[in-house]
Amino acid sequence: MYGTVVTTEQLTPDLVRVVLGGEGLADFTPSPDTDAYVNASFLPVGAPYSVPFDEQEIRHLPRELRPFPRRYTVRRWDEATRELTIDFVVHGDVGLAGRWAAHAEPGDRLQMKGPGGGYRPHDDADCYLLVGDESALPAIAASAEAVPEGRPVVVVVEIESSDSELVLHSPGELDVQWVHRRGSAGDPDTLLVEAVQALPRPGGVVSAFVHGEAVAVRAVRRHLLAGGIVDRDRLSVSPYWRRGHTDEQWRSIKADWQREVETDVPLTT
């Protein structure tokens, strides 16, 4: 399955929106999850093939010439136009995915698998807490749009500066708090959890989504579970990346890290 670039848009200094369409998405079946994602394949410079490609036919190539998989959230699927929107975090020409998105033009193609997913705001919750950074912002935005009408939804997002803020929408009673890294004298590993700790304690049943940088989301998870703020079965936590690690370095230790995180708060808490 592959999509063909229809349009691109610079949403913020570090977020690029790419809309994909075309016949390559004829078999795309959307997921009901608001953190739905596709596994996209990014071609290295000098790859002797193009999209669409047969994975079996390129397995013999050296690792540096094979495509690199990256997971990206589906920001929106338009059933009427059969177009797929993905928002990419871009830091100049750093990283295969960011570089591709920054330079994408109409007609370019992106091969992918999926979608998968695992979270949608629980219908029976009394309120919602959506926490993360730029990498989680597409899923946070999609989740805010899917909460039941009139219920409180608090969004806490760590971003570089006010230039990176977006207008979010929700049928719920939306409260958005932006946490700026630039100009902050605090520890970058604790900015997010400190913002969450400063929130008034929510009442009733909470549905929470906490995704983003590994150390930050681990701290937020610990706070929410140890404080009895959220039940485990209504908490979605995922470390998308880790500060100081490349994508490959993080992928190589992510499973061990997640097993370690599970021991932070005993199941009896």
- Domain ranges, ordered by start, for the chain: 2-116, 127-263
Give the pLDDT confidence of 94-138 residue by residue, as tens digits.
778 889 999 999 999 999 999 999 999 999 999 999 999 999 999
Residues 6+ apart with CB under 8 A from 203: 126, 127
Per-residue model confidence (pLDDT) at position 184: 86
Per-residue model confidence (pLDDT) at position 269: 43
Residues of the chain predicted below pLDDT 50? 269
CB-CB contact of 237 with 221 (8 Å): yes
2-116 with 127-263: one CATH topology?
no
Phi, then psi, of 127 in degrees rounded to 5: -155, 170
To the question of pTM greater than 0.85 for the whole model, the response is yes
Closest by CA position to 53, among listed 38, 66, 72, 71:
66
CATH architecture assigned to 127-263: 3-Layer(aba) Sandwich (3.40)
Alpha-carbon gap, residue 181 to 145, rounded angstroms: 26
Per-residue model confidence (pLDDT) at position 268: 52
CATH number of this structure's domain 2-116, picked from the four choices 2.40.30.10, 2.60.40.10, 3.90.1170.50, 3.40.190.150: 2.40.30.10
Per-residue model confidence (pLDDT) at position 240: 93
